[in-house]
Structure 1
Amino acid sequence: MKSNFKTDLSKEKQLTPLLDSYYQKHLKHYCFERVSHLKKQVQGIDLILKDKASGKQFFVDEKAQLDYVNESLPTFAFELVYHKNGVQKEGWLFDVSKKTHFYALVTSIYSDDEDEFTSCNITWVNREKLILRLDELGLNQDNLKKLSFQHRENHGKLILEQLDPRNQGYLFFSRQNKAEKPVNLILKLDFLERLGVAKRLV
């Protein structure tokens, strides 16, 4: 097993022009600035949006399904925990060190050839609202962490009593096929919209 970190970074750079073209077209009331500073990126800031009217700033973390190019998945994986050098670490969803206001979930990424992406979907998710709605459903950080620990030897899907696995979501343990052995909360994109925490940008 190995991490695809460097490969993902290269793909992300190739995806950037397409994303920027969508932002320019669909975020007319905002200026946007790409963040290249590693420290800010580690804090969950890939993009800074600035409201043209109020000047208010929002931090955006881009999350792209780069493992599934030329596929259209109805779900997205929100990272709860992962492992690094044998130590369990906090995933990005509940990590208090992240300054993210919004996630830009990039899905249905299509490519005509290896070096050029031609289209994708972007779903805008309000991070604070998402965490609040999950808490209302009984899926807060502590409960999900307990489940992750109780089923730490699992690999694959774990159905949650709070969610319908067919049209809402479930937990997924990637113990065998990923070096980081992440535990992800898999949520349907249209469920996020029904929850009132997400909006399809394109």
Structure 2
Amino acid sequence: MALKSTFKADLKKERQLFPLLDRMYTLHLKHYRFERISAYDQQLKGIDVVFTHKTTGEKYSIDEKAQLDYINDDLPTFAFEIEYQKKELVREGWLFDTAKKTDFYALVTAIYEDSPNTFTSCKITLVNRKKLLAFLASKGITRQSLDQVIKKHPGKSAKQTLAQLHAKKQGYLYFSNLQKAEKPINLILKLDFLTVNGIAKRLV
């Protein structure tokens, strides 16, 4: 049986999450103003929100990523998209996509709801994209090196360990061939691992 794409349902959930995220930004961004971006061409470049420093005027492009498959759960990891399929063609995922103009990822986890699609609380972790890519490269984890691992993947297991990462404490590759129609391949990373290494910081 063919897997059905959840893209439209996820997009609807994302929009329902906006009011909660905006409240969180208002409460916890002490030195920045924020502006939600509605222009589709900007969103395609990985810009959902822009943070502007209240004093210097410096701007940062934010790409919001939410764990919408795990409502009312608090996972210690986050999935960074390497590649996916659309119309049976392999497309570049958002992590290594050079067309993206993202400065920071706002990773939204521990999303809780009191009633269906009425979100009441969440955690937000800000990840510096440039620092993340540089850190991964320093460990020998690049788009090219991962591509070699992907090509050699036997397809027997969804989880693929990487020589450069401790699977339980740091991260691993995950193949979602059986769970999602888009068959994404993700780099799963521990949020604490990113925080300890100065790549991420909890906003709330």
Paired letter, 2:174: F
Residues 1:44 and 1:127: Cα distance change in structure 2 (over 3 Å): same
1:145 deviates by 1.6
TM-score scaled by structure 2?
0.96
Which runs of structure 2 are paired with 1:73-92 in the superposition (5 Å)?
A: 73-92=75-94
* Residue 27 (structure 1) aligned to one of 16, 26, 29: 29
Matched residue of 1:41: which SS? helix
Contact 1:104 1:124 in 2 (8 A): yes
The answer to whether the 8 Å contact 1:60/1:104 transfers is yes
Q: Distance in 2 between matches of 1:114 and 1:91?
A: 29
| Unaligned runs of at least 5 residues, structure 1 | none
- Residues 80 and 145 of structure 1 are in contact (CA less than 8 Å); yes or no, is this contact kept in structure 2? no
* Structure 1 pair 62–87 and aligned structure 2 pair: CA distance change class (3 A): same
* Over 6 Å off, 4+ runs: none
Q: Secondary structure of the equivalent of 1:73?
A: coil
The question of 1:196 aligning with 2:168 is answered no
Shift of 1:191: 0.4
In structure 2, the CA distance between the partners of 1:40 and 1:162, relative to structure 1 (3 Å rule), is same
Q: Per-residue CA shift, 1:175-194, capped at 9, x if unaligned?
A: 11211111100000000101
RMSD: 1.0
User: What are the equivalent positions in structure 2 for 1:19-58 lying under 5 Å apart?
Assistant: 19-58=21-60
In the other structure, the counterpart of 2:121 is 119
**Gaps (5+ residues) in structure 2?**
none
**Residue 36 of structure 1 contacts residue 46 of structure 1 at CA under 8 Å; is this kept in 2?**
yes
Q: Quote the offset at 1:155 in angstroms.
A: 4.2
Give the conservation status (yes or no) of the 8 Å contact 1:155–1:175: no
User: Which residue of structure 2 lines up, in the alignment, with residue 150 of structure 1?
Assistant: 152
Partner deviation per Cα, 1:113-136 (whole Å, 9 max, x = no partner): 013101000000000000000000
What residue identity is the alignment partner of 1:141?
A: R
Secondary structure of the corresponding residue to residue 191 of structure 1: helix
> In the alignment, which residue of structure 2 is the partner of 1:61?
63
Distance 1:56 1:8, change over 3 A: same
- What CA deviation, in whole Å up to 9, does each residue of 1:74-113 have, x standing for no partner? 0000000111111111100000000000000000000000
| Partner residue in 2 for 1:174 | 176
How far apart, CA to CA, are the structure 2 residues paired with 1:2 and 1:195?
Answer: 38
State the SS of the aligned residue for 1:121: strand
Q: What is the distance in 2 between the residues matched to 1:26 and 1:34?
A: 16
**Secondary structure of the corresponding residue to residue 105 of structure 1:** strand
Corresponding residue SS for 1:76: strand
Deviations 1:162-202 (A, max 9, x none): 11111100000011121111110000000010121000111
